Amino acid sequence: MRLWIALVAVCSLLAPPGPQAQPTVPAEPFHDGLRGTTPLDEEAKPPLIYPTENKDVIRGRAYAQQPPTIPHKIDGYQVDKNANRCLSCHARSRAAESGAVPIGVTHYADRAGTTLGTLAPRRYFCTQCHVPQADTKPLVSNTFTDIEDIRVAPGPKASPARRN
C-alpha cells in the first residue's frame, strides 16, 4: 500500500502540467426547473403531490397525433404482464358497456405496419403514452404553438413568374 502511494506521488510529479489547471465554475447561481436552487449533492424538499384531475371530460389535443390525456383517475389500475385494467373499459368489445372511447385503429398495427386482430404489443403499456393530468404550474416553460394558431406574416411580394 505504502509503495503504491509513493509510486503515485512520483508519477504525479513527473506528469507535465496541463494547459488548464482547473475547469472554470460558471458564475451564475445554480438553478434548475425541477430542483430549484437545491445543489445536485443535496436532497430537495419534495413539493406536494397535486390531486389528479378527475372531471371525466375529454380534453382537446394540441396536435393531431397527440396521445389524448387521461381525463380520469387511474390510481391502482393494474397494467402489467398479467392484466391490463385499461382494456376492461377501453377494449373495442367493452366500449359500448363502459362508455369509454375505444382504442384507436393505430393500436392494432404492429411496427411493420400490419394490422393485427388484437391490440399490438407495442401499445400494451398505455401509460407510456397516455397520462393523467393535474392543474399545476408547468415546471419547465414551453413555447409550443399549434399549427392552426400560427399566422404567417405576409412576406415580400413575389416577382412575376417567368415564362420559359
| One of 74, 92, 108, 133 touching ligand HEC (CB under 6 A) | 74
User: Restricting to residues 77-106, which ones interact with ligand HEC according to CB under 6 A?
Assistant: 77, 79, 84-90, 98-101, 103-104, 106
Contact 55, 69 (CB under 8 A): no
CB nearer to ligand HEC: give 35 or 100. Answer: 100
Would you count residue 35 as binding ligand HEC (CB under 6 A)? no
| One of 118, 127, 136, 145 touching ligand HEC (CB under 6 A) | 127
How far apart are the C-alpha atoms of 144 and 138, rounded to whole Å?
Answer: 13
| One of 56, 75, 97, 149 touching ligand HEC (CB under 6 A) | 56
Stretch that binds ligand HEC, among 8-16, 74-82, 144-152, 155-163 (CB under 6 A): 74-82
Query: Which residues of the chain form contacts with ligand HEC (CB under 6 A)?
Result: 56, 58, 65, 67-68, 70-72, 74, 77, 79, 84-90, 98-101, 103-104, 106-107, 119, 123-130
